Amino acid sequence: MTFSKTPLFSRSEIIGFAVLAVLIFLILPTFLGTFRLNLFGKYLTYAFVAVGLALCWGAGGILSLGQGVFFGLGGYCMAMFLKLEASTPENTSIQSTPGIPDFMDWNQLTELPAWWIPFHSLTFSLIAVVLVPVTFAFFIGVAMFRRRVGGVYFAIITQAFAAILTILIIGQQGYTGGVNGITDLRTLNGWNIRTGEAKEILYYVNGVLLFAVLFVAHFVRKSKLGRILIAMRDQEDRVRFSGYDVASFKIFIFCLGAAFAGIGGAMFTLQVGFMSPTLVGIVPSIEMVIFCAVGGRLSILGAVYGALLVNWAKTSFSESFPELWLFGLGGLFIAVVMLFPNGLAGIWTEQIMPRLSKLWTARARRAPQTHNASTEKRGAV
Amino acid sequence: MTFQERYLLKVEGLTVSFDGFKAVDDLSFYIEPNECRVIIGPNGAGKTTVLDLICGRTRATDGSVTFRDNELLKMREDQIVHAGVGRKFQTPSVYEDLTVFENLEISYPSGYSVFGALAFRRNENVQQRINEIAETIFLEDMLSEKAAFLSHGQKQWLEIGMLLIQDPELLMLDEPVAGMSVAERKKTAELLKRIIQDRSVIVIEHDMGFVEDIATRVNVLHQGKMLSEGSMAHVKADPKVIEVYLGH
């Protein structure tokens, strides 16, 4: 038996990635109009968060109920840049202080706050999209994981952070746009992001970024670090007494999840054209966990499908029965946890794949060759 | 030989109190290189707690534990492991969702940092070493099985293998043959005898036949205190030990 060949992608993983690429880059753009495509682009921004959760929660066993915080921070960093670009003195000449964002003017601010100034730079803003969520996650991670806070307690504290950030954004209306969020975003470095063509281009950019994130996540899962995460989830003490500083691994994966969520948030702002505290709070954070759970928390590709499917269901459902959606979502979560703990990905690998491979071997058996056993084994993995 | 060189591990005045209850009380003992020390004693004597204190799982209230030149009581758990102390838990602690190979690989002493783990690659050395260890612990045919499918005894062997691959200078085993079938027990005894040869070992065990077989010296603990120390014959003849542990 040899283990020397450990390719980064197995055959079934290549197929999985390829199918998702065909869906995102060919099928959806071909069959959807600009409006619906933009909606699916929005759904895919949540997939960034769900992929991060598949690593943190699925592999590492760290359940965060506050991923909306990082999604929001990334989104706000992007929105601040776009808002500043939209608030030229000419555009805002009717304000009492022209050249500052409109909501600041309504709140009697007469000058741009110092911490807004760096967001005039696109480069700074793009770095901040990743770095602000990561820094915040790092401090939460150090504070929690070094003290060995974990499990339910960690989940509750992250949820508290989601509540705190929402309240802070709403309360500091003059600096953050308050409950309305940052709206009326128009151009990115002079490029109008509100045209149909721009939305289509942004959809593809979003897709490419999502695949970049998926590749990073896949690389992490396939590395020894990925196996250490799973080991930590099962036997944290054994990992610790095998010579690993468990906390630093948890901090790393939590920060990586935050970076993914931040990118997703920025792409949300670009495609939807605003950012508001309703995307930061407790409810959206829990929804993000449900996307991941429905997709199958162990699978990064499953997380993408989960985000797409639940959001699509949400849109279709809430168009016809707006007041029933939250019950539907709750019911869906309970059903997944009770019936399919490994979500869509679990149904695929446990139910569909074995049947397919059975079919495959049955057909191969009819042919006179005798290499069936090997195909059967490969299919079962 | 100086005092420093003579002993690998020096435990002096070790005390831990949980809300006033002293689980380990002013305990001192010394372990020489290549010695196999067995700790026996009735339930609740503080045997497992002593191992917990040495490996950093429980923080001591007082005393000192010196391993070569390192004061272990001031070090983090992973640093203690890097200093050369390995610990096996009483209940088998293996990673059930990973294969036997992956279980051993995680313990392979390389790539301990976050980025080291990301960059870690399975090379010839890693595979050779894992195959070697797998053979020692009778699991060479199970390398690609998930650890969840192993029997209780095989899980114990796997955990011993995970320690062996790190080649610790001091190995601490908590009831390594507990819950095993007779055949497994025999095989384990054979395995342990082989691996204790070129390192120091501290074993907690109840099986007296087994203890007699492997022990260089025996410590008898009772209510967190050292009741008796010496060779097996000495301890067996000690009236205090007969009173509280061995029975008349």
The single residue listed with the structure tokens 């709750």 is: A330
Beta bridge partners of B21: B18
In contact, B187 and B138? CB cutoff 8 Å: yes
Q: What is the mean pLDDT of chain A?
A: 91
Q: What is the DSSP letter of A369?
A: -
Query: Residue A134: which pLDDT band, with cuts at 50, 70 and 90?
Result: very high
For B141-198, the pLDDT digits (tens) are 999 999 999 999 999 999 999 999 999 999 999 988 888 888 888 888 888 888 888 8
The amino acid at residue A148 is R
For B217-227, the pLDDT digits (tens) are 999 999 999 99
d(CA A285, CA A64): 8
For residue B82, being part of any structural domain is answered with yes
Q: Do B98 and A230 touch (CB under 8 A)?
A: yes
Q: Do B93 and A4 touch (CB under 8 A)?
A: no
Chain length of chain A = 381
The pLDDT value recorded for residue B43 is 86
The pLDDT value recorded for residue B96 is 95
Nearest to residue A142, comparing CAs of A68, A278, A245, A44? Answer: A245
d(CA B32, CA B6): 6
d(CA A200, CA A374): 45
In contact, B14 and B57? CB cutoff 8 Å: no
Nearest to residue A212, comparing CAs of A375, A51, A30? Answer: A51
The pLDDT value recorded for residue B23 is 92
Compare A7 and B53 and report the one with higher pLDDT. B53
Q: What is the mean pLDDT of chain B?
A: 90
By Cβ distance, the residue of B55, B86, B97 closest to A234 is B97
The pLDDT value recorded for residue B1 is 55
d(CA A366, CA A374): 16
Report the CATH number at residue B227: 3.40.50.300
For A58-109, the pLDDT digits (tens) are 999 999 999 999 999 999 999 999 999 999 999 899 999 999 999 999 999 9
Least confident of A41-45, A225-229, A252-256, B39-43: B39-43
Angle between helices A282-295 and A34-53 (to 10 degrees): 80
Which A-chain residues 246-305 have CB contacts (< 8 A) with chain B?
A: 246, 248-249, 252
Query: Which residues of A are less than 8 Å from B105 in CB distance?
Result: 224, 227
The pLDDT value recorded for residue A351 is 84
Nearest to residue B87, comparing CAs of A241, A245, A240, A231? Answer: A241
Provide mean pLDDT across the span A10-24: 93
For A338-380, the pLDDT digits (tens) are 888 888 898 888 888 888 888 888 877 776 544 444 444 443 3
Instruction: Assess whether pLDDT exceeds 80 at residue A176.
Output: yes
The pLDDT value recorded for residue B10 is 94
In contact, B214 and B192? CB cutoff 8 Å: yes
Beta pairing, strands A187-188 & A191-192 = antiparallel
A95 exposed, middle or buried (CB, 10 Å; 0-12, 13-18, 19+)?
middle
DSSP of B166-218: T--SEEEEESTTTT--HHHHHHHHHHHHHHTTTSEEEEE---HHHHHHH-SEE
The pLDDT value recorded for residue B195 is 86
Provide mean pLDDT across the span A169-174: 94
Both tokens of residue A364?
């191969």
E strands present in B72-155:
85-88
**Number of Cα atoms under 13 Å in the Cβ half of residue A160:** 7
Query: Which residues of B are less than 8 Å from A147 in CB distance?
Result: none
Q: Do A245 and B112 touch (CB under 8 A)?
A: yes
The pLDDT value recorded for residue B2 is 61
Sign (positive or negative) of CA dihedral A193, A196, A201, A205: positive
A3–B contact, CB cutoff 8 A: yes
Q: What is the DSSP letter of A46?
A: H
By Cβ distance, the residue of A224, A230, A241 closest to B95 is A230
User: Which residue of A1, A145, A224 is the best one to mutate when testing the B interface, meaning the one whose CB has the most B CBs within 10 A?
Assistant: A224
The pLDDT value recorded for residue B246 is 72
B85-88, strands of its sheet edge to edge = B85-88, B170-174, B200-204, B36-40, B217-222, B225-230
The pLDDT value recorded for residue B12 is 94
Query: Residue A227: which pLDDT band, with cuts at 50, 70 and 90?
Result: very high
Domain that holds residue B87: 3-93+152-246
For residue B175, being part of any structural domain is answered with yes
The pLDDT value recorded for residue A353 is 83
Least confident of A28-32, A314-318, B147-151: A314-318
Provide mean pLDDT across the span A106-118: 93
In contact, B245 and B216? CB cutoff 8 Å: no
Q: Do A241 and B114 touch (CB under 8 A)?
A: no
Beta-carbon contacts of B61 under 8 Å, excluding residues fewer than 6 positions away, are B15, B16, B17
Question: How much of chain B, in percent, has pLDDT values that exceed 70?
Answer: 97
Which whole-number Å values give the CA distances from A164 to A62, A154, A276, B3, B87, in the listed order?
20, 15, 14, 59, 42
For residue B145, being part of any structural domain is answered with no
Beta bridge partners of B22: B17
For residue B114, being part of any structural domain is answered with no
The pLDDT value recorded for residue B3 is 59
In contact, A242 and B107? CB cutoff 8 Å: yes
Q: What is the DSSP letter of A242?
A: T
Instruction: Assess whether pLDDT exceeds 80 at residue A6.
Output: no
Both tokens of residue B56?
């950093």
Query: Which residues of A are less than 8 Å from B145 in CB distance?
Result: none
Q: What is the ipTM of this complex?
A: 0.91
In contact, A23 and A262? CB cutoff 8 Å: no
d(CA A164, CA A281): 8
Query: Residue A240: which pLDDT band, with cuts at 50, 70 and 90?
Result: very high
Q: Do B166 and A227 touch (CB under 8 A)?
A: no
For residue B78, being part of any structural domain is answered with yes
Which whole-number Å values give the CA distances from B66 to A94, A148, B80, B84, in the listed order?
76, 26, 11, 12
Beta-carbon contacts of B201 under 8 Å, excluding residues fewer than 6 positions away, are B35, B36, B37, B170, B171, B172, B173, B192, B195
Beta pairing, strands B200-204 & A187-188 = unpaired
Provide mean pLDDT across the span A252-263: 98
**Number of Cα atoms under 13 Å in the Cβ half of residue A198:** 15
Both tokens of residue A99?
């050249």
Nearest to residue B118, comparing CAs of A253, A130, A302, A145? Answer: A253
For residue B164, being part of any structural domain is answered with yes
For residue B134, being part of any structural domain is answered with no
**Number of Cα atoms under 13 Å in the Cβ half of residue A11:** 5
Provide mean pLDDT across the span A283-305: 93
Domain count, chain B: 1
Query: Residue B208: which pLDDT band, with cuts at 50, 70 and 90?
Result: confident
The pLDDT value recorded for residue B115 is 95
pTM here is 0.91
Other CB atoms closer than 10 Å to residue A195's CB: what's the count?
11
Both tokens of residue A234?
């099962």
Compare A360 and B103 and report the one with higher pLDDT. B103
Which A-chain residues 185-224 have CB contacts (< 8 A) with chain B?
A: 219-220, 223-224
* φ, ψ at A347 (rounded to 5°): -60, -40
Beta-carbon contacts of A31 under 8 Å, excluding residues fewer than 6 positions away, are none
The pLDDT value recorded for residue A69 is 97
Compare B125 and A380 and report the one with higher pLDDT. B125
Q: Do B81 and A243 touch (CB under 8 A)?
A: yes
Query: Which residues of B are less than 8 Å from A223 in CB distance?
Result: 117-120
Sign (positive or negative) of CA dihedral A53, A54, A56, A57: positive
A4–B contact, CB cutoff 8 A: yes
For A142-169, the pLDDT digits (tens) are 999 999 998 899 999 999 999 999 999 9
Compare A327 and A305 and report the one with higher pLDDT. A305
The pLDDT value recorded for residue A378 is 41
For residue B99, being part of any structural domain is answered with no
DSSP of A75-101: HHHHHHHHHHHH--TTTTTTSSSTTS-
Instruction: Assess whether pLDDT exceeds 50 at residue A4.
Output: no
Both tokens of residue A286?
């829990």
